[in-house]
Amino acid sequence: MGEIMMKEHNSKVNANDINKNDSTVRGNFLLKYAILAPSCLNTQPWRFEARPNEIRIFGDLKRWRKVADMDQRELYISIGCALENILIAAEHFGYGHRVTYLEGEQVAAVIELNAGGKPSSFRDAELFKAIPERHTIRKIYEKRTLPPETTKCLEELCIEEGFTLHFTDDIEIRRKAKELVYRAYAIQLSKSTRKRELGYWLARGNTGKNRPISKIGQIITNCLNVSKNGAKKDSDILMSAPILAAITSENNGHRSQIVAGQILERIWLKANTLGIGFRPMSCILQVPELSENVLDFLHVSDVFLQQTFMLGYAKTDEKHASRRPLDQFII
């Protein structure tokens, strides 16, 4: 679920701009927070429709990475992150909500908004403030452990039934994960995988008249997220991280993936407020035959692995990933 910089417009959001008298305008305003959510390689794979007192979220399958995300797990986790931002913002501005998840439908989720809401205990004002400040750590972590009270604070954000947040500081588990990182990169760099992924992105129309050849190569490289040094960089960061974490669910499918994304975004925002660096680790999960290994060395079974990530203290001067203008997401 990492991010890359794209040469597109940033989204500007001012909390004073909300129009509480027009329900459709209000819905569109809340979407300004939705599009600040993280997504795999910053693909931003979502579309929205704001109706009176209702927001509908759609998956944008044109931005689905079919080779690296065959089961659409990352696409729907990204949608879950955007959904969570809407709910945090809605509660901040005094609106209640009811979410309907539509498994297997074109619409991923429907949010009904109503007046008289208040922030949930797990969606406080600090999370709202963190939405535009959230970032990804891409550097080596400092040699500092996380206090038990900090991990407990993050664990309390996983409140949905059937979902579990796992933390480990076991160096041997991280070494096993490191081996899987190298294996994942080797598989992703295989000739057949590169050929299929290359064909997919070329078929999407990245060879338009106004797009220089050099930019095409850059886009393909970014979308593949693979390089000769990628595995070493990721494994070095992994070995420096004090905590390796995972979100698992009892069930699988688009609904479970969306909810996992909600939990992920909540933890990511809270980590930001606590000064903790957060970095998703998705390469292992993109290779189905390897993801089961993670469950084995986490000593859990009969569950589905939705997302792995790293936590720790790290200084960063990273720039925020750009966003396309909001009107490009509106149906």
The dihedral through the CA atoms of 171, 175, 177, 178 has a sign that is positive
Provide long-range contacts, Cβ within 8 A and 24+ apart, for 299-305: 300/164, 300/166, 300/248, 302/250, 303/164, 303/248, 303/249, 303/250, 304/248, 304/249, 304/250, 304/251, 304/252, 304/256, 305/246, 305/247, 305/248
184-225 confidence digits (pLDDT tens)? 888 877 745 555 555 555 555 544 445 455 555 555 555 454
Q: For the chain, list the domains and their CATH numbers.
A: 15-136+319-328 (3.40.109.10)
Point out the least confidently predicted range of 22-36, 93-107, 191-205. 191-205
Q: What is the mean pLDDT of residues 72-79?
A: 96
Give the pLDDT band (50/70/90) at residue 105.
confident
3-state secondary structure of 243: strand
% residues pLDDT > 70 (the chain): 80
Strand partners, 110: 56, 100
Give the pLDDT band (50/70/90) at residue 318.
low
Mean pLDDT rounded to a whole number for the chain: 84
Give the pLDDT band (50/70/90) at residue 3.
very low
Q: What is the mean pLDDT of residues 159-183?
A: 95
pTM: 0.85
271-315 confidence digits (pLDDT tens)? 999 999 999 999 899 888 888 899 998 899 999 999 999 999 998
Q: Which strands form 163-168's sheet, in the order they lie side by side?
A: 163-168, 243-249, 304-312, 277-281
Structure tokens at 92: 């901040």
Q: What is the mean pLDDT of residues 60-70?
A: 87
Res 7: pLDDT: 32
Q: How far apart are CA 38 and CA 15, in angstroms?
A: 20
